[in-house]
């Protein structure tokens, strides 16, 4: 994981807010996926705030997007915000 990567987790009534900070590499992507997998039980939506990310590495972006299948079966809506939202959010098919 990038040494400076952090995820701040805030529970809201029916949702969760994740504030990402630092550099987003492959290991950071796996950490984000694990947090989504472990902390999303009982939530309807997750707001992923990317405004405090610095560098987005292509491998991190690719790792996150290609492994979203790990969340299959979890009825959550992911909403990406911040300056790097379009870099990390999965492409719509």
- Alpha-carbon gap, residue 57 to 27, rounded angstroms: 11
- Alpha-carbon gap, residue 31 to 76, rounded angstroms: 18
**Residue-by-residue pLDDT tens, the chain, 93 positions:** 568 999 999 988 778 999 999 999 999 999 999 999 998 888 889 999 999 999 999 999 999 999 988 888 777 889 999 999 999 988 754
- Alpha-carbon gap, residue 1 to 86, rounded angstroms: 21
pTM for the whole structure: 0.90
**Which CATH superfamily is 6-88 part of?**
STAS domain (3.30.750.24)
Rounded alpha-carbon distances, angstroms, from residue 76 to 6, 27, 36: 22, 23, 10
Domain ranges of the chain: 6-88
């Amino acid at each position: 994981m990038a040494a400076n990567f952090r995820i701040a987790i805030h529970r809201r009534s029916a949702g969760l807010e994740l504030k990402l900070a630092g550099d987003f590499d492959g290991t950071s992507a796996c950490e984000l996926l694990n947090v989504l997998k472990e902390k999303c039980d009982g939530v309807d939506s997750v707001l992923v705030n990317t405004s405090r990310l610095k560098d987005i590495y292509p491998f991190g972006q690719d790792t996150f997007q290609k492994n979203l299948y790990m969340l299959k079966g979890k009825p959550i809506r992911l909403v990406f915000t911040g300056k790097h939202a379009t870099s990390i959010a999965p492409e719509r098919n």
